């Protein structure tokens, strides 16, 4: 990866290198030992871009013969601008010039001009990265809302920048270039509406732009909402810019932006340039080649979860996770039906929450309402409908924890569903839609899911990861081993998703009827074994063997089929290639991947691959919370935490409370007589 090499002393004279811990850490990992004092001729002098303070370092480098190195943010930076306090996820470290300085060559320009950029694997990576960026609506500052509608299509899109930005001056432009850009756009597209996109730092009030809504001519409007650039590009008939990075992003959205400065992406055959570009830019590049150089080869990327340098794909995953959480949480939530022990973790996961149990008060708050899915009521639905407030249902995800929810172990993953909830087949859920969408994807878009499934199987991870013994089954030779997972009989997935078979005893009888010659292996639910939930059954005569405290991941490869009502173990069996028969309608049934003996929801018509089901269920639907950094994280980080146990020590008081709850549940006969 870029930046790795022999260690060098890096002297600096800018306070930002002292105070910005993330920048210091990336530079250190990239091989720079940061120092104060006087450098020697074999040392580096680090300066931040062409900031007002860069002149100090420039003078020292010239006087001492040290190598001048310019540092700047990379092109996928963070959720919010740096002036809002968000640290960067990558840097460009340039020993020649800097990418936005058109007056001299830079390391990036050298790559674009001379690197072969013909390696098939590299270009395939670039295309995959661009596809993920587009799919997740990522941009340099990823705090954008893809649900915001752009203006009616057919407009000309102009990109504003902040006043005084160094990239304007060093990109052979000035403040007058923006007025010139507007005049040319009006002349090139007479009568067309013109939309000017303001810079995120202008939106946040940090720095002014070049256009004022009060002085714009008729037919010209400012777009200052946090709208996703991709949505703006889709409706634009043309894109005009000076040196903005959004011009770079417009290229990958299929546009040929018109430039009124000399940004780094101008002069390579991908733009229409109204300024004279340097003669040294003679090469004609494809979009994939541009992306390979600017996103893969040139920057130094940082992984905040593992505290190490990484590849751009890891940064895309980080921004996907953070942007997904921000988009769901940006307006805050009113939380209903949340047990007291969950509230601390809910705040850690969702940020600004107000807890309220009264449906009318919750709906009147003005913010979206979230409810623990099993506690949704008709009164709450009616109140939200009357108040025109969105209602989101919260539940555990499918890679939950190392321990049971009934033991009050906090989850690493949660789902937030605006349509229904995955275990209720009577109505379409957000997961249903995601599965149907992924069913239409090209196989290359599902490579990440395939790798994830392989990793889960190799690590032996399941929903709860309880561990246990590796079972040694004594099935007679020649008989199929039929695993029947018991369930909590009053669980919402049974109450809403089971068919005619609704108890563990009936489940065992049905499995025997379906497989009269099979060797029936019964595994009671861990919550039932622990005495925390209902569903105990005398399996004698119904099953050939019973296993309880065994490792599910080690058990599944030893069975020939799983027969279940709605158990999540059926999903885990599918991931391991074990055939599954469903008697109810769990979220993974009805898609052509299972033998369905129960009612199949009419809305499940798509025929996804296993990888598509896994992508929707494990990547797109849940959100993951890293217990080490406290940040939203990609599924791959959650998998590492589950495998290692790092950061997963629960609060001691919750374990004691869980045991107390279990004891009271076991004494319910005292008050139910």
Q: What is the pLDDT of residues 432-448, one digit of tens each?
A: 999 999 999 999 999 99
**pLDDT tens digits for range 280-307:** 999 999 999 999 999 999 999 999 999 9
**Could you give the strand order of the β-sheet that contains 632-633, starting from the edge strand earlier in sequence?**
353-355, 333-336, 369-372, 391-396, 413-417, 622-625, 632-633
Structure tokens at 461: 């991870």
Quote the pLDDT of residue 297. Answer: 98
- Average pLDDT, integer, range 1-23: 84
Mean of pLDDT over the chain: 92
Domains and CATH numbers, the chain: 8-114 (3.40.50), 140-291 (3.40.50), 468-625 (3.40.50)
pLDDT (tens digit per residue) in 326-347: 999 998 999 998 988 889 889 9
What are the residues whose beta carbons fall under 8 Å from the beta carbon of 214, sequence distance 6 or more?
none
Give me Rg for the CA atoms of the chain.
Answer: 29
pLDDT mean over 361-375: 94
Region 266-277 average pLDDT? 97
With cut-offs at 50, 70 and 90, classify the pLDDT of residue 78: very high
* pLDDT of residue 596 exceeding 70: yes
Residue 537 pLDDT class (50, 70, 90 cuts)? confident
Pair 51, 63: CB distance under 8 Å: no
Higher pLDDT, 543 or 667: 543
pLDDT at 299: 98
**Dihedral of the alpha carbons of 171, 176, 182, 184, in degrees to the nearest 10:** -80
Mean pLDDT of 87-98: 97
H or E stretch covering 47: strand 44-48
| 369 beta partners | 334, 391
* Nearest residue to 290 (alpha-carbon basis) of 453, 503, 485, 108: 108
pLDDT at 119 over 70: yes
Residues in the chain: 673
Say if strands 622-625 and 580-582 run parallel, antiparallel, or are unpaired.
unpaired
Instruction: Specify the residue for token string 């943010």.
Output: 73
For 215-235, give the DSSP string. GPPTTEEEE-S-B-HHHHHHH
Residue recorded with tokens 């007058």: 176
633-657 pLDDT per residue, tens: 999 999 999 999 998 865 454 444 4
Measure the CA–CA gap between 392 and 421, rounded to whole angstroms: 9
The answer to whether residue 666 scores a pLDDT higher than 50 is no
Q: Could you please report the per-residue DSSP string of 73-116?
A: E-SS-BSS-GGGTPPPSEEEEESS--TT-TTS--HHHHHHHHS-
pLDDT in the model for residue 654:
42
């Amino acid at each position: 990866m870029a930046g790795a090499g022999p260690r060098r002393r890096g002297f600096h004279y800018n306070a930002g290198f002292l105070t910005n811990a993330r920048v210091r850490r990336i530079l250190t990992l990239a091989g720079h030992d940061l120092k104060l004092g006087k450098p020697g001729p074999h040392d580096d002098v680090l300066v931040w871009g062409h900031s007002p303070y860069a002149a100090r370092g420039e003078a020292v480098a010239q006087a001492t013969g040290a190598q001048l190195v310019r540092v700047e943010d990379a092109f996928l930076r963070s959720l919010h601008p740096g002036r809002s306090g968000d640290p960067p996820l990558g840097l460009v470290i340039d020993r020649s010039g800097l990418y936005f300085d058109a007056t001299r060559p830079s390391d990036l320009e050298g790559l674009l001009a001379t690197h072969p950029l013909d390696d098939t694997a590299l270009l395939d990576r670039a295309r995959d990265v661009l596809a993920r960026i587009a799919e997740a609506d990522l941009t340099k500052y990823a705090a954008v809302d893809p649900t915001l509608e752009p203006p009616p299509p057919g407009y000309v899109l102009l990109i504003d920048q902040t006043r005084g930005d160094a990239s304007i001056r060093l990109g052979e432009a000035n403040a007058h270039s923006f007025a010139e850009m507007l005049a040319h756009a009006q002349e090139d597209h007479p009568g067309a509406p013109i939309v000017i996109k303001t810079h995120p730092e202008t939106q946040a009030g940090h720095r002014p732009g070049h256009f004022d809504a009060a002085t714009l001519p008729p037919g010209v409007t400012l777009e200052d909402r946090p709208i996703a650039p991709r949505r703006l590009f889709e409706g634009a008939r043309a894109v005009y810019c000076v040196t903005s990075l959004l011009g770079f992003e417009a290229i990958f959205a299929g546009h040929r932006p018109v430039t009124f400065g000399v940004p780094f992406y101008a002069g390579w055959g991908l733009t229409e340039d109204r300024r004279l570009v340097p003669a040294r830019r003679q090469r004609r590049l494809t979009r994939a080649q541009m992306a390979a150089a600017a996103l893969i080869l040139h920057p130094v990327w940082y992984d905040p979860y593992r505290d190490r340098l990484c590849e751009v794909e890891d940064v895309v995953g980080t921004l996907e996770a953070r942007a997904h959480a921000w988009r769901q949480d940006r307006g805050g939530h009113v939380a209903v039906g949340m047990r007291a022990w969950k509230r601390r973790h809910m705040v850690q996961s969702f940020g600004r929450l107000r807890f309220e149990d009264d449906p009318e008060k919750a709906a009147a708050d003005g913010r979206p309402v979230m409810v623990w899915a099993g506690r949704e009521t008709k009164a709450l639905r009616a109140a939200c409908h009357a108040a025109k407030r969105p209602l989101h249902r919260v539940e555990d995800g499918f890679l939950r924890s190392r321990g049971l929810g009934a033991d009050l172990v906090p989850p690493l993953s949660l789902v937030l569903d605006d349509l229904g909830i995955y275990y209720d087949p009577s109505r379409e859920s957000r997961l249903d839609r995601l599965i149907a969408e992924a069913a239409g994807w090209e196989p290359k878009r599902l490579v990440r899911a395939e790798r994830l499934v392989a990793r889960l199987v190799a690590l032996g991870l399941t929903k709860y990861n309880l561990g246990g013994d590796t079972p040694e089954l004594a099935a007679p030779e020649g008989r199929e081993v039929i695993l029947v997972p018991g369930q909590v009989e009053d669980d919402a997935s049974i109450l809403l998703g089971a068919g005619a078979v609704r108890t563990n005893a009936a489940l065992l009888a049905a499995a025997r009827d379906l497989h009269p010659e099979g060797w029936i292996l019964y595994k009671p639910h861990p919550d039932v074994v622990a005495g925390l939930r209902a569903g105990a059954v005398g399996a004698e005569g119904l099953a050939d063997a019973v296993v309880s405290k065994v490792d599910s991941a080690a058990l599944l490869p030893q069975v020939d089929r799983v027969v279940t009502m709605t158990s999540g173990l059926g999903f885990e069996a599918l991931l391991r290639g074990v055939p599954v028969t469903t008697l109810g309608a769990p979220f993974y049934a009805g898609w052509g991947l299972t033998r369905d003996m129960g009612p199949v929801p009419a809305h499940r018509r798509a025929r996804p691959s296993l990888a598509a089901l896994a992508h929707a269920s494990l990547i797109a639907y849940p959100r993951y919370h890293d217990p080490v950094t406290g940040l939203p994280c990609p599924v791959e980080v959650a998998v590492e935490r589950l495998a290692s146990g790092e950061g997963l020590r629960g609060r001691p008081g919750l374990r004691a409370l869980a045991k107390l709850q279990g004891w009271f549940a076991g004494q319910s006969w005292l008050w139910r007589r």
